Structure 1
Amino acid sequence: MTTKQHFRVCFCFKRIFKLRVPEPPEDIKYQFGKYSENGTMTIDNLQKFLIEVQGEHNASKDSAQAIINSHKHLNLFPRKGLSLEAFFRYLISDNNANPLHRPEQYDMKAPLAHYFLYTGHNSYLTGNQISSDSSVNPIIDALKKGVRVIELDLWPNSNKDDVEVRHGGTLTRPVELIKCLLAIKEHAFEKSEYPVVITFEDHLGPKLQAKVAQMVTKTFRDSLYRHESEYIEEFPSPESLKRKILISTKPPKEYLDDQSSLEREGSQRQEDSEEEKTYQGTGQRELEPNDEVEIHNQEEDEATVVPEYRKIIAIHAGKPKGGLEDCLDLTNKTVRRLSLSEQELESATKTHGTAIVRFTQRNLLRVYPKGMRFDSSNYNPMLGWMHGAQMVAFNMQGYGKFLWIMQGMFRANGGCGYVKKPDFLLRTDRVFDPSVVPLIEKKLKVSVLMGEGWFHDFDRKYFDRFSPPDFFVKVGIAGFPVDEIKYETKAIEDEWRPVWNEEFEFSLRVPELAVLRIEALEYDTAGPAEFAGQTCLPVSELRSGIRAVPLYNKMGDKYAHVKLLMGFEFIRLSMY
C-alpha cells in the first residue's frame, strides 16, 4: 500500500466513526434564552418552562430541582440551575422521552361497545397465511404488546378425537388448542389487566364442541366470564371485566337444529362468494371468517345442541341470512357481534354509513383482512374506526405502515389495549355521518429539531460504507381522509446527529382519530431511501412542548438509543 493510499483509508475510517457533538437546535437556544438569567436556568425558571412550554401544569419546584440534580455533572454551578448544554441534554434524554400523556381519569366503566379493542387476526400464525407454522409464540407476543382480542380457528385433528388450531384449507401446520389456551392463561394480563376476548372460528361438531367447553372451563376457571343470562341488552364494561377471559363465537343452536337447516346453511355458503377463498398453489378452498361458516361431519347432522358449549360463550356472534339491512337491524334488543371483511365494510359504508355507526353504539363490529392477503399484510384501519368498529382485526406478525398506525392508536390509554371511542361516535340524538366533511377543529404544529442514537444502535457501515448517513424525516397524519397529509424534511448530509430545525402545520377536522406518523430514513442516491426508525402517536394524547420521541424498528420494537427531538403545539381554531 502506498503512503497516499494509506492516508485515504484512514480518512475514510475517521469519517465513518467520528461522532460530532452538535450545537443545540435554534429552538432550544431560543427557549433557554427566554427562560434563563445570565446563562443559567434557575429552579424558578425551569418550573416556569415546564408549566408554560411543556404544559406540565402541576410541575413543582421539587420536580424542577430533581431535573437539575440529574444533570448537575454538566453544570459549572450546579446549585444555581441548568446551563444551555445541561438544558439541551435534559430535553434529549430519556427523562423527557414521554411524548404522550394519559388522562388521570380515563373512563373504563362504559359498555364494551364504547371502546376500540386491540384486535388480532389468525393470531396463531407465525408468518404468511398459506404455509407458515401455527404456534403459541405469536399469541404470546401479541398479548405482551397489549393485544386484547385473540382469534383461534378450531378444527378436528386428523383422528377426529381432539381439537387443533390452524388456517383451514391451506398448508399451514397446526398447533393443539390446549397449548394456545394455556399460553393465553399465562400471558393474558402481563401488559394489561383489562379483559381478553378469544374469538373462535368454529369448524367442529357437537362432540368436539363439548370437549372445547371442558378445556376452556378447566383452563380459565374463575377467570372465565359467563353471563347470568344468555341474552343481554348491554355489554359489561372493561372495568367490571378486569382479568377476565371472554369467549366469542356463534352459538351452535342456529346451525344444528335439523338437517334442513344444515342444507340451507350449505346453500347460503355457496352463494356467499366473499367467504370462500381459493388459495393459489394449494388446490384447496377455505371457508374463511365471518364467524358463521361451519364444517360438519355427516354423522353429526342429527345431533342436538351442546349446552356446555353455549354456556361458555360471553359474546354471541352471528350474521342474519338476509341482506345488510338485516345485519344492522336494531329492533332486536339483544346485543351481538357482527363480522365483515374489509371489502364488505368498504361496500357497506357507501350506502349505510350512519346505520353502521348507530349499530356500533351498542353492538360489536369486527373487521378482518380479505382472503387475498396471503402475505399477512393489512389494510387501512381508519375506515373501520370512523364508523365505530371496535374490533379492527390485524395480522400482527408482519409490519408496514398500517400495522404501525394500529400500534400508534393503541399507545393511547397507557397501552392497555382499550381506547374509548370519541363522543361523536356515541351520540344517539345526532348520529355521526362519516360522509360529511367537518370543519377544522384545531391545528397542530410539529417541529423536527434533531435526531440521535443511530451511531449506537446501528453498525457504522449499515447506511454507507464510506461516510456518515444522510438522514431525513417524514411526518404525516393518518386519520379522517381530509386530514391526511405528509411532509418531509431536507436530508442532512454526513451526520450521525442531524439537526433539521424544520416546522410543519397540520389542520385537523377529526383530531380524536388522528395518528401522527413519524418515519426516519437515510437518503440513498443509488436507490430507495433506507429505513431508519418509525413511530406513530395518537394525537388525542400528544403532549405539547419539546419532547424526545423514541423510535421503533419495522417490527414495532423500540430501539435502545434512537430518538428524535421534536416540538408539538396545538392551536385552536378560535385563535385564527
Structure 2
Amino acid sequence: MEMRWFLSKIQDDFRGGKINLEKTQRLLEKLDIRCSYIHVKQIFKTSDYPVVLSLENHCSTAQQEVMADNLQATFGESLLSDMLDDFPDTLPSPEALKFKILVKNKKIGTLKETRERKGSDKRGDNQDKETGVKKLPGVMLFKKKKTRKLKIALALSDLVIYTKAEKFKSFQHSRLYQQFNENNSIGETQARKLSKLRVHEFIFHTRKFITRIYPKATRADSSNFNPQEFWNIGCQMVALNFQTPGLPMDLQNGKFLDNGGSGYILKPQFLRESKSYFNPSNIKEGMPITLTIRLISGIQLPLTHSSSNKGDSLVIIEVFGVPNDQMKQQTRVIKKNAFSPRWNETFTFIIHVPELALIRFVVESQGLIAGNEFLGQYTLPLLCMNKGYRRVPLFSRMGESLEPASLFVYVWYVR
C-alpha cells in the first residue's frame, strides 16, 4: 500500500479562534506555499482506490468540530463515516473502498458505538482519551508512564473508521490489545532496530495491522531514508519527504509503477501468510532469477552543465531489494559522445527475492575533478520488466521526463 497522505497541521494558539479555509489559503499564498481546494474528482483521477487523509491534529475541540464540518462538506459521500456492513470486524480490501476517503486520527470508543451515534447531534460532546501504558497480567513488562489526556471532539472522532491512530508500544502489547482498525506509526530509528532484533515479530505485526514508518525528527533538512528496508518486512506505508528528490524518491516512484500506478500493490505471499518464516537478511530458500541485461546504446542523452554533447557518458545498473540482492554494475566510459553512445555490454545478476527487487538505470557524465554528473535515471520493479529489446526512458533528479533521452537494452531472465 502506498502512503498517499494529505498532511494537515492546523494549530490554534488563541482562544475562540475558528478555522477559515479562505484565510488559511491566503496565508499560505503569502508564504509562497502552493495551496488549492481539493476536488474529489481530481483525487480519484489517477486511481479509484481509497485515499487516506492523515490529520496531525493539535486543535481545540471547538475547532475539531469545525474540521469535521469542513471534511463532510468538502468530500460529501466520498468520506467514509461508517463501517461497511460486510466488514464489521475486519479490514476491507482496497477494492471494497473504491472512491472513498478515510480519515486517520485519534478515536474514542468502538465502531459499534460510532454507528449508534450516527445522526445525533455531537456538538459540544467531547471526551478525554488517556494515553499511557497498560499492564499485562502476570508480570510487569512496561515501565510506568504518566498518562495524559487528549481532548477529542466526537464529531471528528466518529469520522475515523478503519484508520484509527494508535501509539505503538510493543509487538506483544499489539498481539494482546490492538484492534483490527488501529494503525501504528513507528519512527525510522525504532523501526530499523526492531527489524534487526525482532524481524519475525515485525513481519507478523504487519500482516495484522497497517504500519506506517516515518522519518526521524532530526532530519531537519527534509532528507530521506531508504524505503526498501521497510518494504522488505511488509510495512504498508513508508512516509518520505516528497519535496526532497534523490534515490529514496526514485525508489518510491519506481516501486509504485506496478499495478498500473494505482498506489496499491499486493504484498508477496511470503509477507502475507501466517506460517511464513521469511527473513530478508537470511534467505534460506527460494526461486532466484538470473537477470541478463545487454546495454546496447543511449539515445540523445541529457546535456551536461557545459551544454555539450561531448560528455563522457556511462551507465550504472543497480539492484535494490533484500540485502543479498543489492548490487551494482557499471559500463565503460564512452568518451566525448553523449548524443548516441554505444556500449554493447552485457550484465548478469542473480536475484534471490525477485518479488521485492527494483532495477535502477543511472546515466552519468564522468568528471575527474568534481566527480560524476548525474544526467538521468529510471527505476522499475524487476517483475515489471518485459523481455526482449526495450527502450528505457530517462527522468531528471526532480522526476521530470527527459524525452526523447533514453537507453536501448535487451532484457532476459530465467527462474
Superposition TM-score tier, normalisation by shorter sequence: 0.7 to 0.9
Say if 1:466 and 1:434 are closer, same or farther in 2 by CA, change over 3 A: closer
Which residue of structure 1 lines up, in the alignment, with residue 182 of structure 2?
A: 336
Alpha-carbon distance in structure 2 between the residues aligned to 1:443 and 1:365:
32
Which residue of structure 1 lines up, in the alignment, with residue 297 of structure 2?
A: 450
Aligned-residue identity in percent: 28
Instruction: Name the aligned partner's letter for residue 232 of structure 2.
Output: M
Per-residue CA deviation, residues 373-431 of structure 1 (Å, 9 max, x unaligned), is 11211111122111110000111111111110111101111111111111110011234
Listed as ranges, the matches of 1:113-512 within 5 Å are 116-117=1-2, 119=3, 148-156=4-12, 161-163=17-19, 182-183=37-38, 185=40, 187-228=42-83, 232-252=88-108, 257=127, 261=130, 306-314=153-161, 315-319=163-167, 322-326=169-173, 328-329=174-175, 332-439=178-285, 441-454=288-301, 458=303, 462-464=304-306, 468-495=310-337, 496-512=339-355
Instruction: Name the aligned partner's letter for residue 290 of structure 2.
Output: K
Listed as ranges, the matches of 1:8-87 within 5 Å are none
Does the Cα contact within 8 Å between 2:127 and 2:154 map onto a contact in 1? no
How many residue pairs get aligned? The number is 380
Per-residue CA deviation, residues 269-299 of structure 1 (Å, 9 max, x unaligned), is x979xxxxxxxxxxxxxxxxxxx999x6xxx
Say if 1:293 and 1:552 are closer, same or farther in 2 by CA, change over 3 A: farther
Alpha-carbon distance in structure 1 between the residues aligned to 2:401 and 2:186:
33
Say if 1:335 and 1:434 are closer, same or farther in 2 by CA, change over 3 A: farther
Which residue of structure 1 lines up, in the alignment, with residue 356 of structure 2?
A: 513
Alpha-carbon distance in structure 2 between the residues aligned to 1:355 and 1:180:
41
Alpha-carbon distance in structure 2 between the residues aligned to 1:438 and 1:263:
40
Alpha-carbon distance in structure 2 between the residues aligned to 1:467 and 1:220:
51
Per-residue CA deviation, residues 510-546 of structure 1 (Å, 9 max, x unaligned), is 1111000110001122321111100101112111111
> Greater helix percent: which structure?
1
> Greater strand percent: which structure?
2
- Superposed displacement of residue 212, structure 1: 0.8
TM-score scaled by length of structure 2: 0.83
Instruction: Name the aligned partner's letter for residue 319 of structure 1.
Output: K
TM-score scaled by length of structure 1: 0.61
- Superposed displacement of residue 153, structure 1: 2.4
From 389, 408, 411, give the equivalent of 1:546: 389
- Superposed displacement of residue 333, structure 1: 4.9
Say if 1:531 and 1:466 are closer, same or farther in 2 by CA, change over 3 A: closer
Alpha-carbon distance in structure 1 between the residues aligned to 2:180 and 2:131:
24
- Superposed displacement of residue 558, structure 1: 1.1
Q: Which runs of 4+ in 1 moved over 6 A?
A: 262-265
Which residue of structure 2 lines up, in the alignment, with residue 32 of structure 1?
A: none
Instruction: Name the aligned partner's letter for residue 166 of structure 2.
Output: G
Does the Cα contact within 8 Å between 1:463 and 1:522 map onto a contact in 2? no
Say if 1:435 and 1:346 are closer, same or farther in 2 by CA, change over 3 A: same
Instruction: Name the aligned partner's letter for residue 155 of structure 1.
Output: Q
Alpha-carbon distance in structure 2 between the residues aligned to 1:160 and 1:479:
52
Per-residue CA deviation, residues 457-514 of structure 1 (Å, 9 max, x unaligned), is 64xxx44467711110000101101100001101101111000011111111111110
Does the Cα contact within 8 Å between 2:234 and 2:271 map onto a contact in 1? yes
Instruction: State the secondary structure of the residue aligned to 2:399.
Output: coil
Bigger RCO (CA 8 Å, 6+ sep): 1
Does the Cα contact within 8 Å between 1:340 and 1:367 map onto a contact in 2? yes
Per-residue CA deviation, residues 151-190 of structure 1 (Å, 9 max, x unaligned), is 222322656523489xxxxxxx8689xx968326353112
Alpha-carbon distance in structure 1 between the residues aligned to 2:194 and 2:19:
35
Gaps of 5+ in 2: 22-26, 111-125, 135-141
Instruction: State the secondary structure of the residue aligned to 2:191.
Output: helix
- Superposed displacement of residue 226, structure 1: 2.5
Does the Cα contact within 8 Å between 1:442 and 1:509 map onto a contact in 2? yes
Alpha-carbon distance in structure 2 between the residues aligned to 1:466 and 1:331:
63
Instruction: State the secondary structure of the residue aligned to 2:397.
Output: coil
Does the Cα contact within 8 Å between 1:408 and 1:515 map onto a contact in 2? yes
Q: Which moved more, 1:308-317 or 1:209-218?
A: 308-317
Instruction: State the secondary structure of the residue aligned to 1:377.
Output: coil
Alignment RMSD: 3.2
Alpha-carbon distance in structure 1 between the residues aligned to 2:308 and 2:83:
69
- Superposed displacement of residue 336, structure 1: 1.7
Which residue of structure 1 lines up, in the alignment, with residue 120 of structure 2?
A: none
Instruction: State the secondary structure of the residue aligned to 2:198.
Output: helix
Say if 1:433 and 1:195 are closer, same or farther in 2 by CA, change over 3 A: same
Does the Cα contact within 8 Å between 1:471 and 1:493 map onto a contact in 2? yes
Say if 1:528 and 1:184 are closer, same or farther in 2 by CA, change over 3 A: farther
Per-residue CA deviation, residues 42-96 of structure 1 (Å, 9 max, x unaligned), is xxxxxxxxxxxxxxxxxxxxxxxxxxxxxxxxxxxxxxxxxxxxxxxxxxxxxxx
Say if 1:402 and 1:374 are closer, same or farther in 2 by CA, change over 3 A: same
Which residue of structure 1 lines up, in the alignment, with residue 398 of structure 2?
A: 555
Alpha-carbon distance in structure 1 between the residues aligned to 2:93 and 2:354:
25
Alpha-carbon distance in structure 2 between the residues aligned to 1:429 and 1:242:
30
Instruction: Name the aligned partner's letter for residue 544 of structure 1.
Output: K
Which residue of structure 2 lines up, in the alignment, with residue 113 of structure 1?
A: none
Say if 1:335 and 1:556 are closer, same or farther in 2 by CA, change over 3 A: same
Alpha-carbon distance in structure 1 between the residues aligned to 2:176 and 2:209:
9
From 368, 378, 401, give the equivalent of 1:525: 368
Instruction: Name the aligned partner's letter for residue 382 of structure 2.
Output: V
Instruction: State the secondary structure of the residue aligned to 1:432.
Output: coil
Alpha-carbon distance in structure 2 between the residues aligned to 1:405 and 1:433:
21
